[in-house]
C-alpha cells in the first residue's frame, strides 16, 4: 500500500473548487478566503441547554434546549451554548474539513468547537459549540467571522461518505447522541 500524506488546501485551490462548484460555501464573501482556510460567520440562531427542566444529561435521552434567535447574544462567564455558521457547506467525497476557532476570538477566552470535524459528503450549516472561559460575559453579533474551515484532500474519495444524523442540518442543531446505536442497548450504571 502506498502512503500519501494529506494536504491542506491553499486559497488558490479553494477558489478553484468554489468556482467549479465542487466545494460549496454559501454565502461567501471574498474576505473570508484566507491563505489556507475559509472563515465562517456567526448566524442568528442559538441553543442553550435547558437546565431548568432537566436534572441530568443522559446520553440515552434527548437533550432539551432553549432557543434564541437574534442579531446578538451575550454568553455569561463559564457558560456553553450552541451556535451555527451563516454559511451552508457541501463537501465532495474526497475532502474533509477541520473547524477551528479564529485566533482573535480565542484570545478573548471564547473557545469555538470541541468536536470540529466535517466529514466528506457533509452538507448543511455547521453547528458550533461555544464556551466562554473568561470571567466576563462575551457579547457576540451575527455576521461576524467566528471560525475557520481548514480543508484537507484525502488520499481517495470516501467509500461511504457522510449520511449521518446531522446531514442537511439548518440552524444550530442540538445533540442527537441518543440516536447512537449504543443508546439502544441496556447498560447497568454506577453513580459516584
Long-range contacts of the stretch 13-21 (C-beta < 8 A, 24+): 14/38, 14/151, 17/92, 17/95
Dihedral angle computed from the Cα positions of residues 133, 78, 49 and 43, in that order, rounded to the nearest 10 degrees: -40
Residue 99, strand partner residues: 149
For residue 23, which of 189, 150, 116 has the smallest C-alpha distance?
Answer: 150
CA quadruple 140, 54, 56, 172: dihedral sign? negative
Q: How far is CA 175 from CA 42, 154, 169, 178, in A?
A: 19, 27, 12, 8
87 in active site:
no
Query: CB neighbours (10 Å) of residue 149?
Result: 25
Strands, DSSP E only, in 79-119? 80-90, 95-101, 110-112, 117-118
Catalytic residue among 62, 129, 141, 182: 129
Q: Which residues are catalytic?
A: 129
Amino acid at each position: 500500500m502506498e502512503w500519501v500524506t494529506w494536504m491542506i488546501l491553499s486559497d488558490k485551490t479553494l477558489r478553484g473548487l468554489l468556482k467549479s462548484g465542487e466545494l460549496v460555501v454559501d454565502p461567501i464573501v471574498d474576505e473570508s478566503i484566507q491563505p489556507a482556510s475559509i472563515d465562517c460567520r456567526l448566524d442568528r440562531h442559538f441553543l442553550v441547554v435547558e437546565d431548568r427542566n432537566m436534572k441530568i444529561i443522559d446520553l440515552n435521552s434527548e437533550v432539551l434546549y432553549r432557543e434564541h434567535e437574534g442579531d446578538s447574544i451575550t454568553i455569561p462567564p463559564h457558560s456553553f451554548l450552541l451556535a451555527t455558521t451563516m454559511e451552508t457547506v457541501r463537501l465532495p467525497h474526497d475532502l474533509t474539513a477541520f473547524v477551528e476557532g479564529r485566533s482573535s476570538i480565542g484570545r478573548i477566552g471564547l473557545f469555538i468547537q470541541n468536536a470540529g470535524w466535517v466529514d466528506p459528503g457533509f452538507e448543511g450549516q455547521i453547528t458550533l459549540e461555544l464556551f466562554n472561559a473568561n470571567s466576563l460575559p462575551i457579547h457576540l453579533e451575527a455576521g461576524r467571522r467566528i471560525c475557520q474551515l481548514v480543508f484537507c484532500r484525502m488520499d481517495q474519495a470516501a467509500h461511504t461518505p457522510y449520511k449521518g444524523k446531522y446531514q442537511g442540518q439548518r440552524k444550530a442543531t442540538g445533540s442527537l447522541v441518543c440516536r447512537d446505536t449504543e443508546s439502544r442497548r441496556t447498560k447497568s450504571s454506577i453513580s459516584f
